[in-house]
Amino acid sequence: MIATMKNVVKRYGDNMALDHLDLNINQGEILGLLGPNGAGKTTAIRSLTGLIGIDSGDIEVFGKKQSLNNKDIKREMGLVTQEITVFNDLSARENLRYFGSLYGLKGADLDSNVDRVLKFIGLTDRASKRPKSFSGGMQRRLNIGCALVHRPKLLIMDEPTVGIDPQSRNHILESVKQIAAEGTTVVYTSHYMEEVQAICNHIAIMDTGRVIAEGSLEELVGRIQHEDTIRMIALAPSDALTESIKAISGVKSVTVVGTSYTIVSGADSGNLNRIMEVAVGHGGIANIAADKSTLEDVFLTLTGRKLRDDGEGA
């Protein structure tokens, strides 16, 4: 365990931002902290990084008790802020040098780490340029790079892909996986469930200041998924086909609209192959697919609300 938060309470006036939050971060994992805006994700990571005090509870990082301005802990952590917080009046290289120096790097060590990060974020050929001449995606990459110069053991990324194009987002997600593969533990907050699904091997879903569920993607989905939904387009729909599918053990219902069949079956019944066999025997199929539950479904089931408001984000 690289960090733990136990029973953490943080209030802002009457608003309880963290409501007895419990969270464990394991060495080497990418922990996805998922939740809607206002769930308490940012407050949780600011508490974890020792940037704000807490009202009660315990936070331990690297086996040491976290507190405001604990320099020993801060030295081993990196923070990627939600907003781009690099210096626009400094070049990319100067930005990396400055942030590296704040963590005590100097001389050849600083130079080599800056070169390493420039290469990693793909900005070596633009090292002498200022960020204001960069695209949004490049600025985001530099924003991430500034937290990597000192090789942190624990990297905290607060919604690092807000407002960028899909291509840059993919580049960043791949980078995060690479960072973790090199041994850095990553805490990744987002309200984009697709990102968390794609990169995180441990997911904690937050709402109203608490972790309401955690585990791997499979574990979380398994908690809510009691049925499989299979959608099929039959080449020769018929009553005989419908009855044959209904007769398969575990199939709960079959709905037919034109050539389109929607079949609900018990979870993990393995009925997809059987249905395909039956359909092929009755004139063949044009298309067949099984719906998979997502984190969005998990969140909806747990809270009765959608993770994102309609139209928000990408």
Partner 1 sequence: MVIRHYFKRIFTQPINLLVLLALPVGILILNLSILNAVPPPDTPSIFENPASIDAGFVSMIIIIMFAFFGASVVYDYLFEDIRGERRWRLLAAPQTVGKYVFANVLGSTVFSLVSSVLIYGVGILMYDAYVPNLWVVAGTIFLFTVFAQLLGMFLLLVCPKKGTAEAALQGIVWSLTILTGNMFGGLNLGRVGNFIFQRATPNALAMDTFIRYITDDMVLVRNNMLALGGYIVVMAIVVAIVARRRPF
Chain residues that interact with partner 1, rule: CB under 8 A: 46, 49, 51, 69, 71-72, 74-75, 77-79, 81-83, 85, 87, 89-90, 98-99, 101-104, 106, 146-147
Three-state SS letters, 119-186: HHCCCHHHCCCCHHHCCHHHHHHHHHHCCCCCCCCEEEEECCCCCCCHHHHHHHHHHHHHHHHCCCEE
Residues 6 or more apart in contact with residue 290 via CB below 8 angstroms: 228, 229, 230, 231, 272
Q: What angle do CA 273, 278, 284 make, to 5 degrees?
A: 100
Least gap, CB of 70 to partner 1 (angstroms): 9
In terms of CB distance, is 6 or 106 closer to partner 1? 106
In angstroms, what is the minimal distance from the CB of 83 to partner 1? 4
> Is 188 or 261 the residue whose CB approaches partner 1 more closely?
188
Dihedral Cα 38, 44, 50, 53, nearest 10 deg? 70
Q: How far is the CB of 307 from partner 1 (least distance, A)?
A: 24
Tell me the two tokens of residue 283: 């004139």
Neighbouring residues of 107: CB distance < 8 A, sequence distance ≥ 6? none
Q: Which is nearer to partner 1, 79 or 180 (CB)?
A: 79
Q: How far is the CB of 155 from partner 1 (least distance, A)?
A: 11
Neighbouring-strand partners of residue 61: 3, 64
Q: Residues 177, 182, 185, CA angle at the centre, nearest 5°?
A: 70
Backbone angles phi, psi at 143, to 5 degrees: -60, -40
Separation CA 49–CA 158 (nearest Å): 12
In the chain, alpha helices (H): 41-48, 71-74, 92-102, 107-120, 136-145, 166-181, 193-199, 217-224, 239-246, 271-281, 295-303
| Distance of closest approach, residue 53 Cβ to partner 1, in angstroms | 12
Residue closer to partner 1 by CB (options 62, 266) is 62
Nearest one of 144, 203, 167, 185 to 61, comparing CA atoms: 185
CB of residue 305 vs partner 1: minimum separation in angstroms? 28
Minimum distance between the CB of residue 85 and partner 1, rounded to whole angstroms? 4
Residue number, 83 or 125, with CB nearest to partner 1 = 83
Q: Which is nearer to partner 1, 114 or 217 (CB)?
A: 114
CA–CA distance, 89 with 87 (Å, rounded to integer): 5
Identify which of residues 43 and 244 has a Cβ nearer to partner 1 in the complex: 43
Closer by beta carbon to partner 1, 149 or else 200:
149
What is the nearest approach in angstroms of partner 1 to the Cβ of residue 227? 44
How far apart are alpha carbons 191 and 312 in whole angstroms? 10
